[in-house]
Chains A and B, each alone.
Chain A
């Protein structure tokens, strides 16, 4: 692998590394992806004869719990990166592990949410509210899963890089954190839109 410049150190005129730019560009595309689904939600709801309130169908306490879980995982994520910046690898391990675990809790809660719906005969095909609910939360869930896989890799086998190139490792954890915070950000809008309105 050749040494591509500005992988680890920043370029003077932009003040940025390649990875930082790359992840923000990717997040911009994700804004448009989720934006399209929100736009669809708006068009369908505005055009619908009737639209159920989220709280009549969905489990608010469970989702509130999940919101707290995800926000907490964002805190542990940023603390994981801060630990690396403070040269505390042990603390990084703890916080990153916490992030992955909280992500897992989120997914488990979603599993219970979904299976409860199916058990009650509520499927994406039942009506458009449920269709957009399952699609939006489902896509979000896939992103949580993806983020978890990456974070788990950095917690586990990927952590080797800390010994050989700690700055690069710290940057990569930061960039992975940006993705994770974005996933949290989407949920912050998803939760009230689907559940509370």
Chain B
């Protein structure tokens, strides 16, 4: 399947200009400055955190399905502080909930999507030897690692990990136990990691593009990572500031977020007061809204690459898609208070935020529509990456559509903080982003390892996950519309109005546990294929973008001779061409 026109590169050859000293084990595999090693480090660490965060949720789902009943097997291991007699205490449920969200978003998805895929693929796709700042890149991984260790360590402190939601609202987060302090410190490490990474990605994309690779010849994946980097760069610092202020409140006794006269457990809090809990919410959501686009944009980038490749056609509407990306990135900074419609804002401002929120759905829809239209007339190859990419489309569609009533201030009133919200955002992130990430793993695994993952196991992974994810999240719309709030440790069991829909909690829980079983073929496939997968050459998918000009796996320095881009990124099925694909790098 390799492209005969590509430059044949012997595996051991190192790129020009590199100092060819043999690095020891630690410098080569642990403290490496090579973007590919760093990308794999991010990816594996991110996947492990995804598994851990998923496990926390599987514990929660027992309590939601069978509130008050002891957790089988594991209940005994959790100890009396968290689950006396195996029955989960409400505080423990909150600990699981807050950390599930935090870990999935900040330690799982973003490190995998941006740190993993971005680092590994981006320099290759622009024909560069490495990132602009390789040592900074290494530093950003280790800050992420430190942040992860801090978050995990927080489970062991007295009182347990953070329990105030991934949103850490004041004043609850102010008076919470030590775990919250660790959460804040962990976040500062993670934010630093992201900031350093963003500087690297932006500089690299601007400066290290190969000859002939103009901005409008960039693969959509690169554009997506580029815009994402700007979101991280400019939206994270306000949360860092907020984190510092909440730490000041907790450790130095300030009242940034504490109003005067706050009563806790019957006693007035002895603080200066005069603070504003809503300040925390503004600063938090100023980051957290762009953050959700950080979650989806790399996913759209991955899906775009895979769809173009497996339809053997150019992407439909490349330019509108790029403009939509840029517009989306910009708008994402001015919609945040749609998370705060219920905080007492006046009609002028809530109309403003509702309007910007409706506007931001337009570029989203353009991108999704373009991806769907790209299928029309294609010769579709239904391999595993393509299945996940195809699955992404309707799932993201459901996620996006269900967001609309949340974005309108009036319809948000009955839906805010209910299970409807949980259903909405999980559709976008779980069968949305995570499917795209799976797609990317199956797609770029051969580039990283020189071997293919097994197709049969991949298809089992896909179909099982698709069905299970819908079984988990679809009922949540029903439960939410019935009025059940999120973050209730018994899933609504103690409310009369919730009785008719409680069985859906059981359905969701079984969906989650069976979903876990369907990840086993993936985990096995991943590790088994590293050694035993079918060996392939540099371009097993007959793809057109620059990363496929490098060997599989690429050596240090990536390309023996710097590639040059002679055309756009998706020249598939060019009329009159001998093959159904004309790579960018082919003269």
Contacts and interface: CB of A to CB of B under 8 A. Distances in A.
Direct contact of A and B (CB under 8 A): yes
Nearest to B255: A128
A26 B234 CA distance: 9
A29 B236 contact: yes
14 contacts: A16-B207, A21-B207, A22-B136, A25-B198, A25-B233, A30-B237, A32-B238, A34-B241, A35-B238, A40-B241, A43-B282, A125-B253, A128-B272, A135-B244
A135 B234 contact: no
Nearest to B196: A26
Given A29-B195, A29-B237, A40-B283, A124 B276 contact: no
Given A25-B198, A128-B274, A44 B237 contact: no
Contact of B244 (A29, A123, A126, A139): A139
A56 to B, nearest CB: 17
Contacts of B234: 28-29, 32
B248 A5 contact: no
Between B15, B253, B254, the greatest number of chain A beta carbons within 10 A of the residue's beta carbon is seen for: B254
A87 interface: no
Interface stretch (B125-133, B354-362, B577-585): B125-133
B556 to A, nearest CB: 8
Contact of B208 (A6, A29, A125): A6
Nearest to A48: B274
A125 to B, nearest CB: 3
Contacts of B244: 135, 139
Contacts of B132: 4, 6-7, 18, 22
Interface in A35-58: 35-37, 39-40, 43-44, 47-49
A30 B282 CA distance: 18
B142 interface: no
Interface residues of B, number: 49
A2 B208 CA distance: 14
A22 B199 contact: yes
Interface of A: 1-7, 11, 14, 16, 18, 21-22, 25-26, 28-30, 32-37, 39-40, 43-44, 47-49, 123-128, 131-132, 134-135, 139
Contacts of B271: 125
Interface in B36-50: none
A135 B207 contact: no
Interface in B195-224: 195, 198-200, 202-203, 206-208
Nearest to B271: A125
A129 to B, nearest CB: 9
Contact of A37 (B17, B202, B241): B241
B405 interface: no
Given A11-B207, A29-B236, A47-B276, A131 B256 contact: yes
Between A11, A32, A33, A37, the greatest number of chain B beta carbons within 10 A of the residue's beta carbon is seen for: A32
Interface in B255-294: 255-256, 271-272, 274-276, 279, 282-283, 286
Closest 9 CB pairs of A and B: A125-B253, A36-B241, A36-B238, A33-B237, A131-B254, A32-B237, A3-B17, A2-B18, A18-B132
A1 B132 CA distance: 12
Q: Secondary structure at chain A's binding surface: helix, strand, loop or mixed?
A: helix
A25 B129 CA distance: 22
Interface of B: 15, 17-19, 33, 129-134, 136, 195, 198-200, 202-203, 206-208, 233-238, 240-242, 244-245, 248, 252-256, 271-272, 274-276, 279, 282-283, 286, 556-557
B22 to A, nearest CB: 15
Given A21-B202, A25-B203, A128-B272, A2 B557 contact: yes
A40 B199 contact: no
A33 B240 contact: yes
A167 B130 CA distance: 22
Nearest to B132: A18
Contacts of A48: 274
A124 B254 contact: yes
A30 B200 CA distance: 16
A16 B207 CA distance: 8
Contact of B252 (A21, A43, A125): A125
Nearest to B233: A29
A123 to B, nearest CB: 7
Contacts of B19: 1-2
B206 A22 contact: no
A13 B286 CA distance: 34
Nearest to B241: A36
B241 A33 contact: yes
A187 to B, nearest CB: 17
Given A43-B279, A44-B276, A139-B244, A4 B208 contact: yes
A175 to B, nearest CB: 12
B563 to A, nearest CB: 14
A39 to B, nearest CB: 8
Given A11-B207, A44-B276, A44-B279, A135 B202 contact: no
Contacts of A135: 244-245, 248, 254, 256
Between B244, B253, B272, B279, the greatest number of chain A beta carbons within 10 A of the residue's beta carbon is seen for: B272
Contacts of B256: 40, 44, 128, 131-132, 135
Contact of A21 (B134, B206, B237, B556): B206
A4 B195 contact: no
Given A26-B199, A43-B282, 13 more contacts: A2-B556, A22-B133, A25-B203, A29-B233, A30-B237, A36-B286, A39-B282, A40-B241, A49-B274, A124-B253, A125-B271, A126-B272, A128-B274
A146 to B, nearest CB: 12
Contacts of B272: 125-128, 131
A14 B215 CA distance: 13
B381 to A, nearest CB: 37
Contacts of A3: 17-18
A6 to B, nearest CB: 5
A28 B195 CA distance: 11
A126 B253 CA distance: 8
A28 to B, nearest CB: 6
A18 B203 CA distance: 6
Given A123-B253, A124-B248, A44 B233 contact: no
